[in-house]
Amino acid sequence: MKNVLFIALILTLFACQKNEGPGGQASVQGKIYVRDYNDSFTQLLDEHYAMEQRVYIMYGDDEIYSDEMRTNFDGSFKFDYLTKGKYTIFVYSKDSTFTVPGGKEPLFIEFEITDKKEAVDLDVITILD
């Protein structure tokens, strides 16, 4: 009987540990800024905050994005309800070196949440278009 209670206690403790991802009280936010160039990247045509730009988040060591959202009218984004752990945000940017098939490459920003109510601010992330 004691062994059964001990095993149940151990299983309960491990079941309560959370991995990276939703379910917490932490958040990450930032803004996406676009530098718009001509096709040869020799002339800057415009600069502005990105409206409706897709932003992706990967939880922990995931190799596929876990969630996505689009930026607000002012380029801002925010992922809420995160737990402690490591995360990666990424957005797509045009390739100015002309070496990436398809012409766009992901721009990765890694960060870690160390406090259960932490608010990480990634500030401004600049992409090319």
**Is 57 among the domain residues?**
yes
Residue 8 pLDDT grade (very low, low, confident, very high; cuts 50, 70, 90): very low
**Is 59 among the domain residues?**
yes
Count of structural domains, the chain: 1
Q: Which residue has the higher pLDDT, 42 or 10?
A: 42
Query: What average pLDDT does the segment 15-28 reach?
Result: 78
52-79 residue pLDDT tens = 999 999 999 999 999 999 999 999 999 9
Give the pLDDT of residue 23. 87
Min mean pLDDT across 4-8, 17-21, 71-75, 90-94 is at: 4-8
Is the pLDDT at 11 greater than 50, yes or no? no
**Is 14 among the domain residues?**
no
| Domain containing residue 108 | 19-128
Residues 6 or more apart in contact with residue 18 via CB below 8 angstroms: 24, 83, 84
**Is 119 among the domain residues?**
yes
Please state, for a pLDDT cut of 90, what percent of the chain lies above it.
82
CATH for 98 = 2.60.40.10
**Is 7 among the domain residues?**
no
**Is 10 among the domain residues?**
no
CA distance 28 to 125: 13
CA distance 71 to 32: 8
108-124 residue pLDDT tens = 999 999 999 999 999 99
Q: How many angstroms separate the first and last alpha carbons of the chain?
A: 66
**Is 42 among the domain residues?**
yes
Give the pLDDT of residue 80. 97
Give the pLDDT of residue 5. 45
**Is 73 among the domain residues?**
yes
